[in-house]
Every structure is written in C-alpha cells, then in structure tokens.
C-alpha cells in the first residue's frame, strides 16, 4: 500500500468509526461495520457491511426510515473524502451475527471473503 493509500485508508477508517459510534447506540441491534476496498479502483471495489445482532433487528432496520437517513449521511461523508458508492444496493451490505453463526460458525473473516 502506498503512502497516499495508507493516508486515504486512515481517513476512511476514522470516518467509519465516527459513523459507527454515532449510530451504535441509536439503532436497535446495530453492532459494528466493516469495509473492503482496493485503492487501485476504490469506486468499484468499495463495500461497507453493516452488522446487526439478530435477523429480526436487521429486518426492522431495513424497513425503517432510519436506513435512508443513515445511508444519505454516509454517502455525503464519503464524498467529502473523495469516495462515493456507485451502486448503494451492491456496495452497502447488511448482515447479522446470527447469520454468520449459522453459516460460518461465527468466523467473520471467512464470511466476508
């Protein structure tokens, strides 16, 4: 990773940490988020995974008005650092601890591949 890519990655991690901290307490069941990115092609490779505790909590969030608000806030914040999702439905992913436990025995590294 180049020095510039490391700097951009730190900006992205700081931004995502701030968003996560802002919303963890406000959204029922929201646990954490993670991202994947290839800095050689950031717009196309960027994915952000929001993780909830249970499927029920995830479904409630997906059906809520809060989802659109959080996604809009996220897209605006990403634009500030020069990154914006091309396709929100493919690049903003939702998952649950419950599904990871069922399908990957709680192994997130395997699940996120």
Q: What is the pLDDT of residues 6-30, one digit of tens each?
A: 999 999 999 999 888 887 788 999 9
- Cα–Cα distance, 82 to 65 (Å, whole number): 26
Query: Helices (DSSP H) in the chain: which residue ranges?
Result: 3-24, 42-45, 55-62, 66-80, 88-91, 97-104, 108-111
Report helix angle 3-24 to 66-80, nearest 10: 150
Sorting pLDDT into bands at 50, 70 and 90, what band is 101? very high
Given a cut of 80, whether residue 85 has pLDDT beyond it is: no
pLDDT of residue 98: 98
Average pLDDT across the chain, whole number:
92
Please give the Cα distance from 18 to 4 (Å, whole number): 21
Second-level CATH architecture of 3-111: 2-Layer Sandwich (3.30)
Looking at residue 35, its pLDDT comes to: 93
Domain boundaries, the chain: 3-111
- Residue 84 CA to residue 75 CA, distance in Å, equals 6
Look at residue 62 and tell me whether its pLDDT is greater than 90. Answer: yes
């Amino acid at each position: 990773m180049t020095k510039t890519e490391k700097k951009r990655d730190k900006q992205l991690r700081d931004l995502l940490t701030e968003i996560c901290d802002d919303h963890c307490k406000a959204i029922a069941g929201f646990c954490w988020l993670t991202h994947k990115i290839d800095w050689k092609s950031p717009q196309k490779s960027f994915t952000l995974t929001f993780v909830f505790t249970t499927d029920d909590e995830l479904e409630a969030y997906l059906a809520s008005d809060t989802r659109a608000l959080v996604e809009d806030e996220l897209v605006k914040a990403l634009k500030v650092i020069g990154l914006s999702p091309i396709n929100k439905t493919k690049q903003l992913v939702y998952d649950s601890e419950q599904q990871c436990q069922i399908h990957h025995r709680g192994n997130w590294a395997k699940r996120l591949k």
